[in-house]
Amino acid sequence: MNHETQVRPESVTGTLPAVAAATPMMEQYLEIKAANPDSLLFYRMGDFYELFFDDAEKAARALGIVLTRRGKHQGQDIPMCGVPVHAADDYLQKLIALGFRVAVCEQIEDPAEAKKRGSKSVVRRDVIRLVTPGTITEDKLLAPAESNFLMALGRVKGAADQSCALAWIDISTGAFRVAETSHDRLLADILRVDPREMIVAEPVFHDPELKPVFDVLGRVANPQPSSLFDSTSAPARIARFFEVATPDSFGTFGRAELSAISGIIAYVEKTQKAERPPLSRPEREENGATLFIDPATRANLELLRTLSGQREGSLFKAIDRTVTGGGARLLAERLTAPLTDPAAIAARLDSVSFFRAEPRLGEAVRLSLKGVADMPRALSRLALNRGGPRDLGALRSGLSAASAIAGLFATVEPPPEIRGALAAIAALPSGLAQHLQLALDDEVPLLKRDGSFVRAGYDAELDEMRGLRDESRRIIAGMERDLAEETGIRSLKIRHNNVLGYYIEVTANHQAVMTGTDQAKARFIHRQTMANAMRFTTTELAGLESRIANAAARALAIELAVFEALVKEAVAEAEAIRAGADALAVLDVSAALALLAEREDWCRPQVDSSLAFEIEGGRHPVVEQALRRLGDGPFVANDCDLSPEGDAGHGAIWLLTGPNMGGKSTFLRQNALIAILAQTGSFVPAAKARIGVVDRLFSRVGASDDLARGRSTFMVEMVETAAILNQAGERSLVILDEIGRGTATFDGLSIAWAAVEYLHEQNRCRAIFATHFHEMTALAEKLTRLHNVTMRVKEWEGDVVFLHEVGKGAADRSYGVQVARLAGLPEAVVARAREVLHQLEAGEVSGKAERLIDDLPLFSAAVKREPPKPAPRSDALTEALAGLHPDEMTPRDALEAIYRLKGLAPG
């Protein structure tokens, strides 16, 4: 037997016979590795993927597996490690998460064919796919509720300027989109899609102008040869991939878009080798169709993940009530790209309102959707030759559930979006659904090689072969029983292994019975002698084995042929299946948002083309649910009205003052989140809401630094503030918190003051500006659209009570000392702070603040120390207590000690 096909023990590493440096196998490995220098090479040997040299050292460290040695190369030991094929997905998941790319090298010929070329011939191998973060399809490696996007950046330099475009696909579902972009919004557009991997032409990757973008993306960005992005050859590449005469029917794309599309298709061809995923045709996203959210705002508002990278605590987690993976992915996509067309938003809201008014129908739809598997991902695996019977089963269950769901709407008149979804569901291939139902058994195995997934009665020849195979098992058992009676050896067994096939086994003590006479020798043919047993066969057993082997092999061959036919039929219907799955996701999202609105008491927002922003009883969706879970009482709702007044023509600006811990940041964020939810097409956490479409949303809430690029907290704050002031327009919504707090008081006040004036006079946007600089409240007398509001508090016996209510007016102070006391600062520090604050306020009132600031003794004076408390009085009882050591006492000792102490106690 060829040593390359022998099965080794199932461990993550093992040792093979040593080989010299020039063995054909090692030459083959080095040749394949040279063609894939940027990837770890999983080199198939029998039941293991082996890694050698540097790959082995890297993988052993990353996976925590044992590094061994195998032979020598150029006089040095060859490092080696390996992973079992059956567990490869788990190891791939770890490697991909750590940023590695893996080339999977398989045996592409039968070992028997290799033997025909000579006993030392090496089985032919080749890389069948490159596994990268953006091209994975395995169920274990994908999160059901998250898309797995691969993105390409196309850039074309023109005579006057240069244009950019992004194309992105999810190879696991077939989604394919493209959009134009520009240098100033490139990072925002990339982070909106949140790709797992991004490919870029090498010259673009090394462009100094784009270095800040790729620095943020880190290892997500993957430079590739420029030839992949050639816009002149792009039409031919696109036409060849989609097997059409010309891609003109897909739409008219600019050169940068063609470059991006070509790059991503070329990368798919490079990584998937001979296989082709069933991608949809490229769909363009029009500029301005979605709400622009800059990277800082997206992070601050924690739309999909918190600042720590967790789903728990994000807006998505708070609103997700979907029951399918496709529905969760669609909800996330909508949440990160809210619409700007009031009519399109209204269409989504109509769908939610429909299910809100039909709760029983919504619950029935959700119940049926729970049985829907992820059809697009199953289809993709089948098309890439990585699928199995369960993927066909997923299509069967999905098509069956879709048909049942469509029947639920027979007696109602749904709104347009749901009617469109039902039309796509009706177009699902009913013939394929029936074929899968007839062909597949109710329970199917994971792997097609295991067989037993075709339903009995589907194929007459298969039933015949199965009958012979299964009946033979009964015949073998009968033969074993007859031989035991004939020979008188009760322990006689008929067994099977891959080397001998079927054989008769008896213990060594019964050798004489099997070989003692000429008749016995003629009947029982010796096969193998073991330490404690002997193995024989008979002509009858050998004939039966041949029939069994042929029947089992023929049965499996028939099942595999059925599998391939079903896969071919399913892939041919890829477009309809994908459209139907998208329609089911729409129903899932609409029904889920209706359930959310019902349970959380959310209202339908009015979204129009005005500049209105009027929220009554608004709440923060995440904080409100967190308070409920913790049992900390109800969330305090607040109004917000940034709508134009009279002939003002532009939205208002609220200048929000109040103490820390009063709820300013929560109020800022909740209004931004309400705008996002409304334009997503969701009901919102408010009693009433009217929102004129927001085209750009900017947020500067919270403080952080960027030490890697030499930026202090204040510098980051200024950079983000500059981006807002340079980009916001009259349709923008801006929320700013504590601008200027990171520098000297007068510098900060000056910057904040000027920023508010600029927002009012130049940007003319709707905004909420929170500040501790109370001096700025005087601006309300100068700026007509600026209004003072404050977070209300109450003082009680020297403490401050936060009401979390927003009201008209301005705070006269920040209550910082009271907040410090609540935080647990030592009482001496709090007392000293009150004294300093009193003197500073008195100085400001009397015009002597400058003298007080220069009066260093005020700040250098020693903190008043509290007089030491007198030591507790020493008496007999105290001394007795001090002499007890409970850890060393028995129960009897403790009881006696209690009686002694009682005797010492007064009274």
Mind listing the pLDDT tens digit for each residue in 398-454? 999 999 999 999 999 999 999 999 999 999 999 999 999 999 999 999 889 889 999
Residue found under tokens 């009947």? 523
How many angstroms separate the Cα of 385 from the Cα of each of 448, 568, 800? 11, 11, 67
Binding-site residues for ATP: 658-665
Residue 110 confidence (pLDDT): 80
850 is written with which tokens?
A: 């400058």
Say if residue 143's pLDDT is above 50.
yes
- The percentage of the chain sitting over the pLDDT mark of 90, rounded to a whole number, equals 60
Beta bridge partners of 800: 795
CB 653 within 8 A of CB 759: yes
pLDDT score of 27 more than 60: yes
**20-29, 319-328, 421-430, range with the lowest pLDDT:** 20-29
The 3-state DSSP composition of the chain as helix, strand, coil percent (nearest 5) reads: 50, 20, 30
What gap in Å lies between CA 59 and CA 52, rounded to an integer?
9
Neighbour count for residue 22 (Cβ, 10 Å): 8
Q: What is the pLDDT of residue 712?
A: 66
Pairing of the two strands 613-618 and 606-608? unpaired
In the predicted model, is pLDDT for residue 361 greater than 50?
yes
Q: Is the pLDDT of residue 861 over 70?
A: no
Distance, CA of 635 to chain centre: 30
The Cα angle at residue 881 between residues 879 and 886, in degrees rounded to 5: 140
- Under the banding of pLDDT at 50, 70 and 90, the label for residue 317 is very high
- H helices present in 181-275, as ranges: 186-193, 202-205, 211-217, 234-242, 255-272
**What residue ranges define each of the domains in the chain, with the CATH number in brackets?**
3-131 (3.40.1170.10), 145-286 (3.30.420.110), 320-429+573-600 (1.10.1420.10), 460-552 (1.10.1420.10), 606-821 (3.40.50.300), 825-860 (no CATH), 872-907 (no CATH)
Spatial contact of 327 and 585, defined as CB atoms under 8 Å apart: yes
Q: Residue 651 has what pLDDT?
A: 93
Token reading at 87 = 């567990």
Token couple for 415 = 């709104």
pLDDT in tens, 677-720: 999 999 999 999 999 999 999 998 865 544 445 556 778 888 88
Q: Residue 736 forms beta bridges with which residues?
A: 700, 769
User: For the ranges 319-323, 605-609, 659-663, 685-689, which has the lowest average pLDDT?
Assistant: 659-663
Lowest mean pLDDT among 155-169, 399-413, 677-691, 752-766: 155-169
pLDDT of residue 772: 83
- The pLDDT tens digits of the residues spanning 179-221 come to 999 988 999 999 999 999 999 999 999 999 999 999 999 989 9
In angstroms, how far is CA 341 from the centroid of its own chain? 28
| Measured distance CA(256)–CA(68) in Å, rounded | 49
pLDDT tens digits, residue range 223-274? 999 999 999 999 999 999 999 998 888 888 999 999 999 999 999 999 999 8
Q: Quickly state the pLDDT bin for 739 (edges 50, 70, 90).
A: confident
Would you state the structure tokens that stand for residue 355, as one six-digit string?
């299910």
What average pLDDT does the segment 831-856 reach? Answer: 59
Between CA 582 and CA 170 the distance in angstroms is 14
Q: Are 134 and 196 in contact (CB under 8 A)?
A: yes
544-572 average pLDDT score: 91
> Of 374, 388, 169, whose CA–CA distance to 279 is shortest?
169
Arithmetic mean of pLDDT over the chain: 87
Q: Residue 412 burial (CB < 10 Å; 0-12/13-18/19+)?
A: exposed
Q: Which of 139, 135, 131 is nearest to 394 (CA)?
A: 139
Instruction: Work out the pLDDT band at 24, boundaries 50, 70, 90.
Output: confident
Query: What are the binding residues?
Result: 658-665
What is the arithmetic mean of pLDDT over 773-801? 84
Longest dimension (CA), the chain: 129
605 φ, ψ (degrees, to nearest 5): -80, 150
If one counts every other C-beta atom within 10 angstroms of the C-beta of residue 293, the result is 25
Q: How many residues does the chain have?
A: 907
Which residues make beta-bridge pairs with 506? Answer: 534
Res 872: pLDDT: 53
Q: Where are the alpha helices (DSSP H) in 8-52?
A: 24-34
- Nearest CA-CA partner of 364 in 129, 210, 595: 595
What stretches of 690-803 show up as alpha helix (H) in DSSP?
713-727, 745-758
Residue 465 token pair = 């072969």
**With 60 as the cut, is the pLDDT of residue 59 above it?**
yes
How far is the C-alpha of 99 from the C-alpha of 516, rounded, in Å? 68
pLDDT-above-70 percentage for the chain: 89
Residue 134: enclosing H or E segment and its boundaries? Answer: none
Residue 159 has pLDDT above 60, yes or no: no
Count of other CB atoms within 10 angstroms of residue 240: 12
Q: Rounded CA gap, 407 and 422, in Å?
A: 10
Amino acid letter, residue 66? V
Q: Which residues contact 580 (CB under 8 A, 6 or more apart)?
A: 375, 398, 399, 402, 424, 425, 427, 428
Q: Which of 51-55, 309-313, 800-804 has the lowest mean pLDDT?
A: 800-804
C-alpha distances out from residue 14 to 24, 45, 194, 303, 516, Å: 20, 12, 40, 47, 45
pLDDT of residue 846: 46
Is the C-alpha dihedral spanning 459, 464, 468, 470 positive or negative?
A: positive
Read off the pLDDT of each residue in 577-603 and give the average, rounded to a whole number: 97
pLDDT, position 869? 54
Backbone φ and ψ for 588, nearest 5 degrees, come out as -60, -50
Backbone φ, ψ for residue 154 (5° rounding): -110, 135
Q: Where are the alpha helices (DSSP H) in 454-536?
A: 460-487, 511-515, 518-523
Task: Provide φ and ψ at 36, rounded to 5°.
Answer: -135, 60
pLDDT at 778 over 70: yes
Contact present, 698 and 732 (Cβ < 8 Å): yes
What's residue 217's pLDDT?
92
Q: Are 589 and 327 in contact (CB under 8 A)?
A: yes
> What are the angstrom distances between the C-alpha of 154 and each of 389, 397, 637?
39, 40, 47
Q: Which two tokens stand for residue 595?
A: 């359930």
Output the six-digit token pair for 702.
């919270």
Segment holding 151, helix H or strand E = strand 150-157
